[in-house]
């Protein structure tokens, strides 16, 4: 493995100077080169990571988490039954970027990128006559931006919108970022383990970090929002930067911006902290999950849920700020704005977070709102929609083109075709198949009409045989009553449809 610098040398060096001082020129990878075509409307995709529709007041949540988004929705197309393609960032985001589900793009594991066949079938290559700009707080997503960099005019490095960062480590150990980050953390931080391998370096580093954060610390009672432990950022900084940037770049532009909140750690700003303390949210105790086999520690789940909901208030506040700025600059009149997420978050059945084998509604139902240029009224869409629909819809409305490869459809009300009431929506957790191998271990959910079938298979390590659950998500949106034992005929019919689809997906890999 080729490295720019030995780790020992690097750590010595890092003790003496800051990242910016040492390597100021690392932070701009690609200079804008291609002028954009004139005429079309801009497209701005804003993704807030791990933003569950279940926790949005607009969608009926018991806490007023999104007062501003609720108001903004009065001028948007609002999708009420929108599904992420997966339950964590890598597969979920790849579907937004490629218009296909994880079983096709094959980005299934942490830091994995999409199958090479999507290098010329993605949102950036599809908008090749636009000025294309992208940024992500989430390193799992920057893996895709690295992959698609040849199709970006302006690829903003992750570090650029961080107040403090480990970016130097990533740059120096480009092919070994994970191990290098661990080594860096062990010496320089007292992180999750509570101790550092070097007391001297840690205490120097700690003082240095504090000096970089400055007065901002007092605005965030739980600490500053962060990625990878102490790479601090604020959403204000990111949103201000984005607002200023889109006013400067050539039009029409396609912007993809992926911000970390409300992903954990849930660290809201002072003015939203404890907003939901001791409120009267009705807590619903849910049956055990097949994996956790527990209904959970209610106090622990409630405490985390409260912090998450308060973090959503911060997202809501900053999204409004962005939209206000787009409006006052006049850009909103010429820009399609999409608000969505890569997956949701769970606080039920002993599960706090996302990414485990379960696919309950909280982790797969996400917001989708489309702000059409010049629209002054709200349109509510209740049909089932998928993350795979975002790309074909944008390509259709902005450029009148089809994404022939996509598994998604052009969404109502923009499509000329009526919605198919029997359309099946899929969301999934795929476990570790190589890119060229069939899927043999997964949780797949199929949603059709009122029914959601969840099929777990191949979990040998838990000695779990195939397991099926069936919910009527209209009559029982909390998924409290598994209908599979009592409605076997319906369940097995839906299961055979899902297995037929899986066989079709696996066929090229057999």
Please give the helix or strand (H or E) that residue 105 lies within, else none. helix 102-105
The angle formed by the CA atoms of residues 262, 265 and 271, to the nearest 5 degrees, is 65
Q: How do strand 226-227 and strand 231-232 relate by DSSP bridges?
A: antiparallel
Size of the site for Zn ion (CB under 5 A): 4
Quickly count helices (H) and strands (E) in the chain: 15, 16
> Which tokens sit at 401?
């083109």
Q: Is 89 in the site for Zn ion (CB under 5 A)?
A: yes
Lay out the site mask for Zn ion across 323-342 (x = CB under 5 A, - = otherwise). -------------------x
Q: Choose between 342 and 356: whose C-beta lies nearer to Zn ion.
A: 342
| Residue of this chain nearest to Zn ion (CB atom) | 89
Q: Is 159 in the site for Zn ion (CB under 5 A)?
A: no
Q: Choose between 86 and 224: whose C-beta lies nearer to Zn ion.
A: 86
Q: Choose between 49 and 166: whose C-beta lies nearer to Zn ion.
A: 49
d(CA 510, CA 506): 6
d(CA 426, CA 86): 9
Give the nearest distance from C-beta 395 to Zn ion in angstroms.
Answer: 23
Cβ density class 188-208: b for 16+ within 10 Å, e for less: bbbeeeeebeeeebbeebeee
Q: Is 289 in the site for Zn ion (CB under 5 A)?
A: no
**3-state class of 471 per DSSP?**
strand
Give the nearest distance from C-beta 75 to Zn ion in angstroms.
Answer: 27
- Nearest Cα to Cα of residue 37 among 107, 138, 131, 112: 131
Q: Choose between 50 and 161: whose C-beta lies nearer to Zn ion.
A: 50
Give the nearest distance from C-beta 125 to Zn ion in angstroms.
Answer: 23
Q: Choose between 50 and 58: whose C-beta lies nearer to Zn ion.
A: 50
Q: Choose between 91 and 243: whose C-beta lies nearer to Zn ion.
A: 91
d(CA 276, CA 279): 5
Give the nearest distance from C-beta 123 to Zn ion in angstroms.
Answer: 17
Give the nearest distance from C-beta 134 to Zn ion in angstroms.
Answer: 16
d(CA 336, CA 353): 31
Give the nearest distance from C-beta 50 to Zn ion in angstroms.
Answer: 5
Give the nearest distance from C-beta 49 to Zn ion in angstroms.
Answer: 4
Give the nearest distance from C-beta 85 to Zn ion in angstroms.
Answer: 12
Q: Is 49 in the site for Zn ion (CB under 5 A)?
A: yes
Give the nearest distance from C-beta 260 to Zn ion in angstroms.
Answer: 8
For 226, phi and psi rounded to 5 degrees? -150, 155
Judged by CB under 5 A, the chain residues 187 through 226 that form the site for Zn ion are none
- DSSP annotation string for 325-380: HHHHTTGGGGEEEEEE-S---EEETTEEES-SS---HHHHB--EEEE-TT--S-EE
Give the nearest distance from C-beta 88 to Zn ion in angstroms.
Answer: 6
Q: Choose between 94 and 188: whose C-beta lies nearer to Zn ion.
A: 94
Environment class of 83 (CB within 10 Å of its CB; exposed 0-12, middle 13-18, buried 19+): buried
Window of 42-50, 238-246, 432-440, 489-497 that interacts with Zn ion by CB under 5 A: 42-50
Question: Is the CB of residue 463 less than 8 Å from the CB of residue 473?
Answer: no
Window of 86-94, 121-129, 230-238, 254-262 that interacts with Zn ion by CB under 5 A: 86-94
Window of 87-95, 152-160, 195-203, 227-235 that interacts with Zn ion by CB under 5 A: 87-95
Q: Choose between 314 and 484: whose C-beta lies nearer to Zn ion.
A: 314
Q: Is 151 in the site for Zn ion (CB under 5 A)?
A: no
Window of 17-25, 47-55, 191-199, 311-319 that interacts with Zn ion by CB under 5 A: 47-55
Enumerate binding residues for Zn ion (CB under 5 A): 49-50, 89, 342
């Amino acid at each position: 493995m080729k490295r720019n610098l030995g780790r020992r040398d690097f750590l010595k060096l890092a003790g003496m100077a800051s990242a910016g001082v040492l390597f100021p020129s690392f932070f701009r990878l690609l200079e804008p080169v291609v002028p954009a075509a004139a005429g079309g409307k801009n497209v701005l995709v804003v993704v807030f990571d791990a933003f569950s529709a279940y926790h949005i007041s607009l969608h009926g949540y018991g806490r007023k988490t999104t007062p501003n988004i609720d108001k903004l929705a009065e001028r948007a197309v609002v999708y009420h039954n929108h599904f992420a393609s997966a339950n964590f960032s890598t597969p979920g985001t790849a579907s937004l970027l490629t218009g296909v589900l994880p079983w096709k793009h094959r980005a299934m594991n942490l830091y994995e990128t999409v199958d090479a066949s999507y290098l010329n079938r993605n949102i950036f290559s599809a908008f090749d006559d636009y000025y294309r700009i992208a940024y992500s707080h989430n390193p799992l997503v920057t893996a895709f931006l690295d992959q698609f960099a040849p199709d970006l005019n302006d690829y903003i490095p992750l570090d650029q919108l961080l107040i403090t960062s480990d970016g130097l480590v990533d740059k120096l150990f480009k092919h070994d970022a994970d191990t290098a980050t661990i080594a860096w953390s062990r010496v320089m931080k007292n992180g999750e383990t509570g101790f550092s391998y070097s007391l001297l370096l840690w205490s120097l580093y700690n003082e240095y970090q504090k000096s970089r954060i400055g007065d901002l610390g007092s605005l965030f009672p739980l600490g500053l929002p962060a990625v990878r432990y102490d790479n601090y950022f604020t959403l204000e900084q990111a949103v201000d930067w984005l607002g200023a940037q889109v006013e400067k770049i050539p039009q029409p532009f396609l912007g993809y911006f992926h911000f970390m909140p409300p992903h954990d750690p849930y660290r809201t700003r002072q003015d939203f902290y404890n907003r939901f303390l001791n409120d009267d949210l009705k807590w619903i105790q849910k049956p055990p999950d097949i994996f956790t086999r527990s209904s959970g520690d209610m106090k622990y789940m409630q405490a985390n849920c409260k912090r998450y909901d308060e973090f959503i208030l911060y997202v809501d506040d900053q999204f409004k700020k962005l939209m206000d700025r787009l409006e006052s600059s006049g850009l909103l009149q010429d820009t399609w704005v999409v608000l969505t997420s890569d997956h949701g978050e769970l606080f039920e059945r002993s599960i706090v977070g996302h990414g485990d084998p379960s696919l309950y509604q909280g982790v797969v139902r996400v917001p989708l709102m489309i702000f059409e240029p010049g629209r002054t009224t709200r349109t509510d869409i209740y049909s089932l929609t998928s993350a795979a629909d975002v790309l074909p819809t944008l390509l259709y409305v902005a450029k009148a083109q089809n994404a022939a490869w996509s598994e998604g459809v052009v969404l109502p009300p923009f499509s000329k075709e009526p919605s198919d009431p029997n359309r099946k929506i899929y969301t999934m957790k795929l476990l570790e198949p190589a890119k060229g191998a069939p899927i043999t271990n997964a949780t797949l959910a199929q949603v059709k009409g009122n029914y959601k079938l969840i099929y777990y298979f191949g979990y040998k390590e838990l000695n779990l045989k195939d397991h099926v659950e069936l919910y009527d998500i209209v009559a029982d949106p909390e998924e409290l009553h598994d209908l599979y034992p009592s409605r076997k005929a319906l369940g097995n019919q839906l299961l055979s449809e899902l297995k037929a689809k899986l066989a079709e997906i696996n066929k090229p890999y057999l």
